[in-house]
Structures are given as structure tokens and as C-alpha cells.
């Protein structure tokens, strides 16, 4: 008795027994009484198959649209809600780097005064992303929605500008840190140059074009020895790749201002510190190591000269950022075509009172009530500069910028936040 497999697929193809062939012919004849009927059945099966795959594709596309990390009905609703303006004459601001140190403070300040704010951040791991997530959670409680994506994502930026007609962009996303550039130079080019260009392209193509305020850096002054540093000084001697990318950013933004009529304000920040700060900054790492009983490394310059920085408290920086947004003026382009000249400005935002690093350590010791174990060494050739000192006269005149927090007061506020955030009680960790 032949098996079913043998019945359907004979071992010698093409050699059917006569009686089996007659039987199969009768079966086919019953199902398809003519060749035209077979043709119609074939068309029907093809159409049915095509319809099935089209439906599957539609369902799959819809599913991706609804569940993607960005995009979809719910996502657009969150973006629009976060961007809503709640004060007369307010603005709608896209803040890049919103989960960062300065970005989170600026976003919160804008939201509190009634402006619309949408954040953008890629939550990279340059330092502990959990701190960025905590800032995001804080902003969320105040109604600020942060899109998790990279500023190099041109499609995402186009979508954001399609969903919201942003009046302003506060561009704070960047790869920070002077020394890290020696380990990962590509990250600086990716974020500080390519990311900036991607954002400029989105802004110049937007209709209406937003006004742009962005974070340059005091690092652009590089090896400049004239003090205090003025916006009129030459900045063609960068001491680090980080500084070079920020200098490049100033030239790039000038180009977009000149060609496309984008209103652009660059802010040269001077050593920003305070609550929710960056763990890679000296004051932050000093605090951590002092509390843990670990030694701290204090660099000194040539001829044993103490390094000095123009430490600027975060609240003062935020005032400068908001003042820049408020006075930015309008972009003059439309759909990438310039109609007239637009503002292009650069300001120093500092405290204009440099303090030596040993003095910083002494203040921290007083607030922490713990003596630091110090290793004093000569500054290596890693891109750091011996001092910074800001001339802020232009910002005073045009922005009404006036720093009010000295280092003693600012560090006291930082230490209070640090002990609370990391669970310390009287200088000891809480179990």
C-alpha cells in the first residue's frame, strides 16, 4: 500500500499510472469546468493575497506609528500640551539638552513664568544618566515634556517644527568637558558641530523661523592672556578640541545668520556651578571625594601659580539665558529665504570675580565640615587654561544681566542639595 506522500509525490516525476491520471483529471474537471474558470479563480486568489499583505502592512505601519519612541497621536498631544503658552506675550521654546544641568534649570524657569517648553535630550552616558533621568522627572512634575532623541535626527526636528511653531530655540545640547576630548574627540564633532548644523538646517527651513540662543563657552578665549576676557578679543587660539568646536560653532551660526536671516545669540558661559550640576566638574567631584575621605587633585599653573575660575552660579546663568531670549529679536527668513538682516550677538555670562581653586576647596571644607586630603600637582597639557575672567559689560547693557550670587553663597546651596540628593545626614551617608 503506497503512502500518502508517495501518492502525491511519486519517486519518478512525470510517470503517473494511467488510472491515477484519469482520476486527477476528473477531480480538476469538477472544480474548474473550463480554462476561463481557472483564470478567474487565479485572479481571485491573487487579489485576496494582495489584500491580505496590504492589510498586514497597514496594521504594522499603524503599530509602529503608535508605539515609536517619537511620533504618534499621543506623542504629538504631549508635545503640544508642553508647548502651550500660559502668559500674555509668552514664547514657545524648544530646549535642547533639557535634561542637562543648565538645560533643566532654564526649562523650569521658562515654564514657571508661563512660557511653553518642549525639551530634547539623548541622555548619553558621558556622566551618570540617572541624574539626567532625575532632572527629567522633576521637569515632568512641572509639565515639561522631554523628547528622548539626538539633535542630529533631522527627521525628528522636522516633525517637532511641524507639530509646534516654536518662536525660540534654546540650544544647550553639547558634548561638554575639556579633558574628555582627548579620549573621545569624535563625540565633540558629532554633538558640537554636526548636531549644531543639523539644528540650524531645521531652523532655517522652519516657517516661521525661530530666534536661536545657544551655548558657546568661555573656553573659546583659549590662550588669551588679556583680562578680563571681552567679546571683542580675538579667539583664534583654542587650547582644547572642546574650545575649537565651540569656536567653530560661532562661525557656523554667523554663516546661518548671514545667509538665512536667523536671529542668533551665542552665550559664553564661565564655569557654571550649583544644584543639579555636572558630576565631572571640579567642585562636584571635590565634594564627593571629600565626603568619602578620598584625596582630591588640585592643579596649579606655571611657576606654582594657583588656577582661578570665574565661577558663575546657575541662577545667574538662567537670568542671562532668559534675558537673551527676551531680547533676541526676530529671524527674517521664511522657508530658508532671507528677507533682511537679523540680529547676531555674542555675550559673556560670568560672575566677573575670579576665585582660585584652593579658595574653592577651602569654602567646601567649611560647608562640609570635613578637611580635604589634597594632592597638589602641576597642570598637565590637557587643554585646561590657567584662569578665566569675564567682562560682562555688554550683557549688563543689552540683557540687564547682573550676577548676584558669590561663591560662598552658591556653594552653600550646592552642598545642601548634594547632601539631600545623595542621602547624607550630618556629612554621613544614610543607609
φ, ψ of residue 194 to 5 degrees: the values are -60, -45
Task: Give SS3 for 296.
Answer: strand
Distance CA 430, CA 413 (A): 20
Contact predicate 101/277, CB 8 Å: yes
Between CA 61 and CA 58 the distance in angstroms is 5
Three-state DSSP class for 170? strand
Instruction: Give the distance from CA 203 to its chain's centroid.
Output: 16
Closest Cα to residue 112, out of 66, 146, 144?
Answer: 144
Sign of CA dihedral 130, 350, 95, 184: negative
Choosing from 127, 180, 188, 242, the catalytic residue is 242
Whose CA is closest to 341, among 402, 417, 400, 262?
A: 262
- Show the cell assigned to 408: 560662598
State yes or no: is 242 an active-site residue. Answer: yes
Neighbours of 196 (CB within 10 A): 24
CB 349 within 8 A of CB 395: yes
Do 310 and 389 touch, CB atoms closer than 8 A? yes
d(CA 142, CA 111): 7
Distance CA 203, CA 214 (A): 13
Q: Which residues participate in catalysis according to the annotation?
A: 242
Amino acid at each position: 500500500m503506497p503512502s500518502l506522500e508517495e501518492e502525491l509525490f511519486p519517486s519518478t516525476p512525470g510517470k503517473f499510472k494511467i488510472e491515477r491520471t484519469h482520476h486527477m483529471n476528473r477531480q480538476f474537471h469538477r472544480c474548474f469546468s473550463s480554462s476561463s474558470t481557472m483564470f478567474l479563480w487565479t485572479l481571485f486568489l491573487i487579489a485576496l493575497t494582495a489584500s491580505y499583505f496590504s492589510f498586514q502592512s497597514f496594521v504594522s505601519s499603524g503599530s509602529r506609528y503608535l508605539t515609536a519612541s517619537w511620533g504618534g497621536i499621543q506623542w504629538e498631544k504631549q508635545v503640544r500640551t508642553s508647548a502651550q503658552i500660559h502668559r500674555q506675550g509668552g514664547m514657545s521654546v524648544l530646549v535642547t539638552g533639557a535634561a542637562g544641568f543648565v538645560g533643566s534649570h532654564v526649562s523650569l524657569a521658562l515654564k514657571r513664568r508661563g512660557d511653553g517648553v518642549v525639551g530634547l535630550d539623548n541622555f548619553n552616558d558621558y556622566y551618570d544618566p540617572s541624574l539626567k533621568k532625575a532632572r527629567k522627572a522633576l521637569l515632568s512634575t512641572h509639565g515639561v515634556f522631554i523628547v528622548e532623541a539626538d539633535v542630529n535626527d533631522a527627521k525628528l526636528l522636522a516633525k517637532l517644527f511641524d507639530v509646534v511653531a516654536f518662536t525660540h530655540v534654546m540650544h544647550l545640547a553639547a558634548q561638554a568637558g575639556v579633558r574628555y576630548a582627548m579620549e573621545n574627540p569624535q563625540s565633540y564633532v558629532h554633538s558640537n558641530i554636526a548636531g549644531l548644523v543639523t539644528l540650524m538646517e531645521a531652523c532655517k527651513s522652519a516657517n516661521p523661523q525661530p530666534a536661536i540662543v545657544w551655548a558657546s563657552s568661555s573656553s573659546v578665549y583659549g590662550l588669551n592672556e588679556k583680562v578680563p576676557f571681552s567679546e571683542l578679543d580675538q579667539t583664534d587660539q583654542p587650547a582644547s578640541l572642546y574650545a575649537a568646536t565651540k569656536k567653530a560653532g560661532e562661525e557656523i551660526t554667523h554663516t546661518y545668520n548671514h545667509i538665512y536671516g536667523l536671529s542668533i545669540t551665542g552665550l559664553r558661559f564661565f564655569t557654571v556651578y550649583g544644584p543639579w550640576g555636572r558630576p565631572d566638574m571640579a567642585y562636584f567631584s571635590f565634594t564627593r571625594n571629600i565626603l568619602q575621605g578620598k584625596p582630591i587633585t588640585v592643579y596649579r599653573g606655571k611657576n606654582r601659580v594657583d588656577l582661578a575660575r570665574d565661577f558663575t552660579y546657575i541662577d545667574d546663568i538662567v537670568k542671562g539665558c532668559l534675558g537673551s531670549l527676551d531680547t533676541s529679536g526676530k529671524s527674517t527668513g521664511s522657508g530658508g529665504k532671507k528677507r533682511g538682516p537679523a540680529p547676531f550677538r555674542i555675550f559673556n555670562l560670568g560672575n566677573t570675580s575670579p576665585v582660585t581653586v584652593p579658595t574653592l576647596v577651602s569654602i567646601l571644607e567649611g560647608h562640609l565640615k570635613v578637611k580635604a586630603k589634597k594632592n597638589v600637582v602641576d597642570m598637565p597639557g590637557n587643554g585646561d587654561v590657567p584662569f578665566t575672567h569675564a567682562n560682562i559689560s555688554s550683557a549688563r547693557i543689552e540683557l540687564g544681566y547682573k550676577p548676584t550670587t558669590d561663591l560662598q553663597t552658591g556653594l552653600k546651596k550646592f552642598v545642601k542639595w548634594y547632601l539631600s540628593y545623595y542621602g547624607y545626614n550630618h556629612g554621613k551617608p544614610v543607609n
